[in-house]
Structure 1
Amino acid sequence: MRPMIQLFGQLLAAGAGRFQQALDDPQSMQISVQREICDHLIASEYGKALGIRSVADWQRVPIVDYDALEPWILGHNKPQQIPLTPEPILFYEKTSGSSGVAKWIPYTQSLRRSFNQMFCVWAHDLIAYGPKFSTGKLYACISPQLNPPDSQSLQDDLDYLDGWLRWVLRPWLVMPNGLNRLHEPQLFKHQLALALLQAESLEIISIWSPSFLQVHLKYIQENQELLRAELHNRISRDRLQLLSESSIPWTKLWSNLKLISCWDSANAADQAKGLRSQFPGVLLQGKGLLATEAPMTIPLIVAGGYVPVLDEVFFEFEDDTGSVHELHELSIGKEYTIILSQKGGLYRYRIGDRVRVTHWYRQTPCLEFLGRHQAISDLVGEKLHETFVNDALNSMNLQGTHFKSLVPVANLPHYVLLLDSATETPEIIAQQLDRALSQSHHYYRARSLGQLAPPQVLISHQIPELLALHRARTGTIWGGIKHQILATSPINTELLQQLKLEIPNY
Structure 2
Amino acid sequence: MRPIIQLFGQILAPTARRFHQALDDPESMQISVQQEICDRLIASPYGKALGINSIADWERVPIVDYDALTPWMGNGEKHHTGELIPLTPEPILFYEKTSGSSGAVKWIPYTQSLRRSFNQMFCVWAHDLIVNGPKFSTGKLYACISPQLNQTNSPSLQDDLDYLDGWLRWFLRPWLVMPKGLNKLHDAQQFKHQLALALLQAETLEIISIWSPSFLEVHLKYIQENHELLRSELQGRISEYRLQLLRDNIPWTQLWPHLKLISCWDSANSADQAKGLRSLFPHVLIQGKGLLATEAPMTIPLIAAQGYVPVIDEVFFEFEDETGSLYKLHELCIGKEYTVILSQKGGLYRYRIGDRIRVTHWYRHTPCLEFLGRHPAVSDLVGEKLHESFVHQVLNSLNLSGNHFKSLVPVAQPPHYILLLDTAQETPEIIAQKLDTALSQSHHYYRARSLGQLATPKVFISPQMPELLSLHRAQNGRIWGGIKHPILATSPISGELLQKLGFHGL
Provide the TM-score with structure 2 as the length reference.
0.98
Provide runs of 4+ in structure 1 moved above 4 Å: 75-79
- CA RMSD, aligned part only? 1.3
Structure 1 counterpart of 2:455, one-letter code: A
CA deviation vs aligned residue, 1:262-292 (integer Å, no higher than 9, x gap) = 0000000000000000001100000010111
Q: 2: distance between equivalents of 1:241 and 1:361?
A: 47
Structure 2 counterpart of 1:94, one-letter code: K
Q: 1:19 to 1:448 in 2, by over 3 A?
A: same
Q: 2: distance between equivalents of 1:468 and 1:295?
A: 24
Partner of 2:277: 275
CA deviation vs aligned residue, 1:333-385 (integer Å, no higher than 9, x gap) = 11110000000000000101000010100110000000011100011111100
Partner of 2:367: 365
CA deviation vs aligned residue, 1:435-494 (integer Å, no higher than 9, x gap) = 111111111111111111111111111111111011111111100001100000011111
Q: 2: distance between equivalents of 1:335 and 1:378?
A: 23
2:409 pairs with 1:403: no
TM alignment of 1:8-407, pairs within 5 A = 8-74=8-74, 78=79, 80-244=83-247, 246-407=248-409
Give secondary structure in 2 for the equivalent of 1:139: strand
Contact 2:151 2:186 survives alignment (8 Å): no
Judge which range, 71-80 or 342-351, deviates more.
71-80
Contact 1:153 1:477 survives alignment (8 Å): no
Contact 1:260 1:283 survives alignment (8 Å): yes
The alpha-carbon deviation at position 400 of structure 1 amounts to 1.3
CA deviation vs aligned residue, 1:206-234 (integer Å, no higher than 9, x gap) = 00000000000000010010011111111
Partner of 1:427: 429
Q: 1: distance between equivalents of 2:152 and 2:287?
A: 34
The alpha-carbon deviation at position 147 of structure 1 amounts to 2.6
Contact 1:198 1:234 survives alignment (8 Å): yes
The alpha-carbon deviation at position 240 of structure 1 amounts to 1.1
Contact 1:148 1:474 survives alignment (8 Å): no
Give secondary structure in 1 for the equivalent of 2:358: strand
Partner of 1:445: 447
Give secondary structure in 1 for the equivalent of 2:23: helix
Partner of 2:502: 500
Between the aligned residues of both structures, percent identity stands at 80
Q: 2: distance between equivalents of 1:271 and 1:181?
A: 27
Partner of 1:413: 415
Q: 2: distance between equivalents of 1:212 and 1:75?
A: 29
Provide the TM-score with structure 1 as the length reference.
0.98
Q: 1: distance between equivalents of 2:144 and 2:259?
A: 16
Give secondary structure in 1 for the equivalent of 2:154: coil
The alpha-carbon deviation at position 75 of structure 1 amounts to 6.1
Give secondary structure in 2 for the equivalent of 1:367: strand
CA deviation vs aligned residue, 1:145-170 (integer Å, no higher than 9, x gap) = 11341422323111111111000000
Q: 2: distance between equivalents of 1:210 and 1:460?
A: 18
The alpha-carbon deviation at position 242 of structure 1 amounts to 1.2
Contact 1:147 1:477 survives alignment (8 Å): no
Contact 1:115 1:161 survives alignment (8 Å): yes
Count residues in correspondence. Answer: 503
Consecutive unaligned residues of structure 2, counting only runs of 5 or more, are: none
Q: 2: distance between equivalents of 1:99 and 1:340?
A: 20
Contact 1:298 1:308 survives alignment (8 Å): yes
The alpha-carbon deviation at position 100 of structure 1 amounts to 1.5
CA deviation vs aligned residue, 1:101-152 (integer Å, no higher than 9, x gap) = 2211110000000000000000000000000000000000001111341422
The alpha-carbon deviation at position 78 of structure 1 amounts to 4.2
Q: 2: distance between equivalents of 1:140 and 1:467?
A: 22
Q: 2: distance between equivalents of 1:180 and 1:62?
A: 38
Structure 1 counterpart of 2:72, one-letter code: W
Give secondary structure in 1 for the equivalent of 2:304: helix
